Every structure is written in structure tokens, then in C-alpha cells.
């Protein structure tokens, strides 16, 4: 069966919101004129979320329910939902009713203007200013600066994707928030639109300042993946040459002083510091070479291309070729 839109919704302990969420999604999508499916991923909920969804699934053929054995995190839940999605367009959203299902048709329309990813921008947020809004703004600014993909709200889960784009992306850690940045490696077109953000009325937020450090660490990973995943030697080699060069200059200067002024350099702390820099530089260059070999072996063994083709246009001239007429 052909599916136009897959709605992917991870959740953890959201029993108070699920019935209303399903009702709103059904109201919007049933009158939209597109075939759809609702994929709920229960990320190891400890409340009655799964039982509520199981009952909904029995009465609504549009609902598909995935249940994790334990809590693996939001990114893993998104990855499972995307992997099982059958729609040509994949829309992701939270289950806490803060994302408005009525924004989905407008996001799909924006996607069909020729974009590959449409990201929601919660310009008028209904969250705590200190614990939610400020960290989100700072994180979005930092990600935009490091990735080169300028978005106001990387943390908004309401996004629309072309299926072939999002299904080809590796998702782990906290990577779901970096999808637009990671996807730039494929040469996709990304845009954003203002969406409605509603006050959480029931349940408790699963986000807070404690996740900031993990996001920063994953951001470093993303930066490496975007720029150096296929050429790690350029990163380690550059640092190695810089550090080793500094060590060479220090030791060279000391040797020159020893020749000109007959001063002993063996017992001088700066001599050992220069040796440390030199050996560190050699180690970094060696690590870079090993990483380069590992990367090349990975690409060759996996048959993974170093490029992503958007489309191919060509004329069928096989019958006119010399080989075909022999």
C-alpha cells in the first residue's frame, strides 16, 4: 500500500497526552487528502503509555506501535520510527502536545516546494526561560556556527523530511537534533518555518540543563563527521605538524644556544618540554595515518560511496551506440 506521509512520534511516560494527541492527529490528517500512518515508539515507558496506545492501535488501522525493551533515548526512538516508516514524507514530532499537529500540512507544502528538510522554529516558546529557552537558543547558535547551517531552533522535534534523505542518515547519541547539519554532507536543501508551540499542560518534561554537556560532546562529533570523517589525516596531521613543529623550534633553539654559548641544555625544563611537543606531534601524525587507513578500508569494504546523487538524467541511446550495432 502506498503511504504519502509517516508521522514518527517517540514517547516516554506520556500516558496523559496520548489520547488527545491521537485525536488531534486524526482530525488533521483524515481531512488532508493524503494517505498516512502514525508510528508511535514507546521508549521503555514505565507508566500506562503502551497500554493506551495498544488500545488505540486496535481501533485505528493507521496506527503502528513500536515498543522498546527499555529506555534507549529519543534518538534511538526516532531512528526506529524512521526505519519502519513507509511514507514518501516523514514527519517527526514530540508526544507532549507542545508541537501542534495543525502545522503538519503547511510543513509538507513547504517541503514540496523543492526542499528536502523543513525544520520547525518555535519562535514564541512556552517553556521555562532559564532551563529550556536559553540553553536551546545558545545550542542552536553554536550548532549553526560550527555546521554552517543557520537555523533558529535545532531543538524543535517537529520536522518534515523526504524519506530518502532521512533514511540514509546515521542516528545515535543525541544526533537527532543535528540532522539538518549532518544532512548537508549529502547536499540537501534545508529550510525552516515558524510553528505553533503550546504550553505543556500535563506530564513532566524530559529535558533540562543536564543534557547540555551531552549535546556539546555530540556537537564535537558532528563537527568531525561533517568535515573530517572521510579525511581524518587532515585533522590529526595538521595538529601533529603544528605541535611537532613547535617542539622542533624549541629544541633547535636550545641546540643553537648550546653551540654558540656552550650552555648545557640537558637539565633545562624547556628541553624536555620541546621533546614532549616533538613526540606528541609524531604521535598525532601517526594516529592520523592510521585513521586514514581505517577510513579508506571502511569505505572500500562497505562499498559506501563518497558522494550522494540527487538525480540522473540521460537519453536512452543504447540502440545507437556502435557496440549495440555490432
The DSSP-derived string for 48-115 is: SHHHHHHHHHHH-TTEEEEE-SS---HHHHHHHHHHH--EEEEEE--SSS-B-GGGHHHHHHHHTTT-
Cα distances (Å, whole numbers) of residue 174 to 130, 212, 216: 21, 10, 10
Averaged pLDDT, 306-326? 46
Residue 315 has pLDDT above 60, yes or no: no
**213-272 tens-digit pLDDT:** 666 667 776 667 666 666 777 777 788 889 989 989 988 888 887 787 776 777 778 888
Q: Where are the beta strands (DSSP E) in 82-219?
A: 87-92, 117-121, 159-162, 190-194
pLDDT of residue 225: 65
Q: What is the rounded CA–CA span in Å between residue 187 and residue 180? A: 11
Determine the Cα–Cα distance for residues 142 and 123; give it in Å rounded to an integer: 17
29, pLDDT greater than 80 = yes
Q: Over the stretch 154-184, which tens digit does the pLDDT of each residue have?
A: 889 999 999 999 998 877 666 787 888 888 7
CA atoms within 13 A on the CB side of 260: 6
Encode pLDDT of 107-160 as tens digits: 999 999 999 999 999 998 887 777 677 777 887 888 888 778 889 998 899 999
Taking 70 as the threshold, does the pLDDT of residue 319 lie above it?
no
What pLDDT digit, counting tens, does each position of 260-276 carry? 777 677 777 888 888 89
* Mean predicted lDDT score pLDDT of the chain: 83
Tell me which of 194 and 266 has the higher pLDDT.
Answer: 194
Q: Is 303 left (phi over 0), alpha (psi -120 to 50) or beta?
A: left
305 vs 286, more confident: 286
For residue 206, the model assigns a pLDDT of 57
pLDDT classification of 323: cutoffs 50, 70, 90 = very low
For residue 311, pLDDT beyond 60: no
Which grid coordinates belong to 186?
549529502
What predicted TM-score, i.e. pTM, was given to this entire model? 0.73
Strands 117-121 and 190-194: parallel
Residue-level pLDDT at 253: 85
At residue 104 the predicted structure's pLDDT band, cuts being 50, 70 and 90, is very high
Amino acid at each position: 500500500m502506498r503511504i504519502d506521509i509517516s508521522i514518527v512520534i517517540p514517547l516516554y511516560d506520556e500516558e496523559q497526552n496520548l489520547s488527545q494527541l491521537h485525536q488531534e492527529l486524526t482530525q488533521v490528517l483524515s481531512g488532508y487528502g493524503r494517505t498516512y500512518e502514525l508510528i508511535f515508539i514507546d521508549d521503555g515507558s514505565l507508566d500506562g503509555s503502551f497500554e493506551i496506545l495498544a488500545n488505540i492501535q486496535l481501533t485505528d488501522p493507521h496506527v503502528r506501535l513500536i515498543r522498546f525493551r527499555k529506555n534507549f533515548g529519543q534518538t534511538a526512538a526516532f531512528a526506529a520510527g524512521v526505519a519502519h516508516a513507509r511514507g514518501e514524507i516523514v514527519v517527526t514530532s514530540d508526544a507532549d502536545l507542545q508541537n501542534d499537529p495543525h502545522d503538519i500540512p503547511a510543513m509538507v507544502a513547504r517541503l514540496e516546494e523543492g526542499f528536502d528538510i523543513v525544520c520547525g522554529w518555535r519562535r514564541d516558546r512556552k517553556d521555562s526561560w532559564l532551563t529550556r529557552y536559553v540553553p536551546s537558543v545558545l545550542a542552536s547558535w553554536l550548532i549553526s556556527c560550527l555546521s554552517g547551517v543557520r537555523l533558529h531552533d535545532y531543538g524543535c522535534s517537529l520536522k518534515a523530511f523526504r524519506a530518502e534523505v532521512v533514511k540514509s542518515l546515521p542516528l545515535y547519541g543525541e544526533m537527532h537534533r543535528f540532522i539538518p547539519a549532518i544532512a548537508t554532507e549529502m547536499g540537501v536543501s534545508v529550510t525552516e518555518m515558524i510553528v505553533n508551540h503550546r504550553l505543556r499542560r500535563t506530564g513532566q518534561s524530559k529535558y533540562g540543563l543536564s543534557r547540555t554537556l551531552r549535546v556539546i560532546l555530540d556537537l564535537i562529533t558532528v563537527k568531525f563527521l561533517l568535515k573530517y570523517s572521510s579525511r581524518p589525516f587532515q585533522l590529526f596531521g595538521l595538529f601533529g605538524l603544528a605541535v611537532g613543529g613547535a617542539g622542533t623550534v624549541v629544541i633547535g633553539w636550545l641546540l643553537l644556544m648550546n653551540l654558540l654559548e656552550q650552555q648545557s641544555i640537558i637539565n633545562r625544563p624547556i628541553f624536555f618540554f620541546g621533546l614532549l611537543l616533538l613526540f606528541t606531534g609524531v604521535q598525532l601524525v601517526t594516529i592520523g595515518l592510521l585513521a586514514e587507513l581505517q577510513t579508506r578500508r571502511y569505505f572500500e569494504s562497505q562499498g559506501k560511496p563518497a558522494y550522494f546523487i540527487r538525480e540522473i538524467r540521460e537519453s536512452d541511446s543504447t540502440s545507437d551506440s556502435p557496440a549495440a550495432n555490432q
